[in-house]
A = this chain, B = another copy of it.
Amino acid sequence: MAMVCLSDFEAYAKKYLPKIAWDYFAAGADDCTTRDENILAYKRIRFRPHMLRDVSMMDIRTKILGSEISFPVGIAPTGFHQLAWPDGEKSTARAARAMNTCYIASTYSTCTLEEISAAAPGGLRWFQLYIHRNRAASQQLVRRAEALGFQGLVLTADLPYTGKRRDDVRNGFRLPPHMKVKNLERAFEVCKMSPSFHSLRWHYGLPPNSLDPSVTWNDIYWLRSLTRLPIIIKGILTREDAELAVKHGVQGIIVSNHGGRQLDEVPATIDALVEVVEAVQGRVEVYVDGGIRKGSDVLKALALGAKCVFIGRPALWGLAYKGEEGLQDVLRILQDEFRLSMALAGCASVSEIGQHLVQFSKL
């Protein structure tokens, strides 16, 4: 079967991954409304293409926080890549470096940060952090990431508790015994069980209640004190929070709803992007993840003010297809589609992309 577009990789992954792994990657919270809305919302945006521009020389490179990437698509932080491919995050790191783009490695990796770094020396990488009740563990992670040459610290803000993903509960999802949340091994004592969530016992490989739900905006200052890395906050959906993020000194915002896996029925990220960009007024870089399935989706996100997008599930489908090579295929298709969309819309370089290229459909 020819792999022509990203949904070919999705179909492959659905067919060949173990059901429990597919379900885990595919899961959305509750009714999966937001997960699906992330995609549908892109379909409601229409292009206003301009004809007869010279698009013979296409330049699709961009920069994020000063680093050049080959095109404005990076790898979003997702957990447990070994569920998709034996080499796990090492393959992800290699593919990202091969395609000259940015990979945000997750706290919940099945390889250590050290293994990831060693697999693809010199690649552009950011590290995604959850803050745990055990603050020392989090602090140690930040220091390791900085020492290993990670160039950004992504704080996930939308997971004080894990969202309710019904299929994972039904499947009794847990990591297979030979996989581990390696970055956090031995970091935790068993925490006191909270009495209030007793019927929701999904914990994804960590002791229940290890995450710290008391984190507030002031903890940005604490992170700031730990590291000189730029801090990017992930999970912002409103202008109010965007304003707070800027005020607390972050360098970037990832508009994200965690792939629709946390609070269901929040807005699609491409819709939330508009108000965040408007609030931020260029003071920090804004990125977006969720729902990207075609190169033209990338063009829409950039037209609405994103500096770069990040892909989550499609990267996992690529891994599931052929590991590092499969992920490169996914990125290459997105790259070709993005370049073609730009050309057909009349833009020869990323700097020509602007809001004039899109309008929201009335339907």
Tell me the smallest distance from the CB of A38 to a CB of chain B, in Å: 13
Q: With contacts A52-B219, A339-B197 known, is A158 near B267, CB below 8 A?
A: no
Residues on B with beta carbons closer than 8 Å to the beta carbon of A236: 51
CB distance from A294 to the nearest CB of B (A): 6
Give bound CA distance, A5 to B337, whole Å.
37
Given A5-B166, A296-B265, answer yes or no on A158-B54 (Cβ-Cβ < 8 Å): no
Specify which of B49, B53, B237, B296 is in contact with A48 (CB 8 Å cutoff). Answer: B237
Please state if A51 and B235 are interface contacts (CB–CB under 8 Å): yes
CB-CB < 8 A to A161: which residues of B? 55, 340, 343-344
Greatest chain B CB density within 10 A among A5, A47, A200, A332 is at A47
B263 touches A294 (CB 8 A): no
Chain A 258-294, CB-CB to B under 8 Å as 1, else 0, gives 0000111111000000000000000000000000001
Q: A266 contacts B47, CB within 8 Å?
A: yes
Complex CA gap A332/B333 in Å reads 44
Q: How far is the CA of A33 from the CA of B294 in the complex (A)?
A: 13
CB distance from A339 to the nearest CB of B (A): 6
- Give Cα A199–Cα B333 distance, bound, in whole angstroms: 7
Partner of A50, one of B44, B169, B240, B296: B240
- A190: chain B residues at CB < 8 Å are none
Chain B residues within 8 Å of A266, by CB: 46-49
Is the beta-carbon distance between B164 and A340 smaller than 8 angstroms? yes
- In the assembled complex, the CB of A11 is this many whole angstroms from the nearest CB of chain B, namely 13
* Binary CB contact string for chain A from 327 to 341 against chain B (1 if under 8 A, 0 otherwise): 000001100110111
A31 contacts chain B at the CB level, 8 A cutoff: yes
8 Å CB contact of A213 from B217, B332, B343, B345? B343
- Kindly provide the distance from the CB of A342 to the nearest chain B CB, expressed in whole angstroms: 10
Given A161-B344, A294-B31, A336-B197, the answer on whether A213 and B55 have CB atoms closer than 8 Å is yes
- Asked if B52 and A200 sit within 8 Å, CB to CB, the answer is no
Min C-beta distance of A109 to chain B, whole Å: 23
Which one of B163, B169, B337 contacts A344 once the chains associate, using CB atoms below 8 Å? Answer: B163
A87 within 8 A of B: no
Measured in the bound complex, the distance between the Cα atoms of B216 and A216 in whole Å is 54
Contact yes or no, A56 B5, CB < 8 A: no
| Closest chain B CB from A262 CB (angstroms) | 6
B263 touches A48 (CB 8 A): no
Q: Rank and list the top 5 A-B pairs by shortest CB-CB distance, nearest first.
A: A56-B214, A263-B344, A51-B157, A56-B213, A54-B214
User: Could you write out 15 A-B pairs with CB less than 8 Å apart?
Assistant: A4-B166, A31-B294, A43-B265, A46-B266, A48-B266, A49-B158, A50-B241, A51-B233, A52-B217, A197-B339, A200-B340, A263-B296, A263-B344, A263-B345, A264-B296
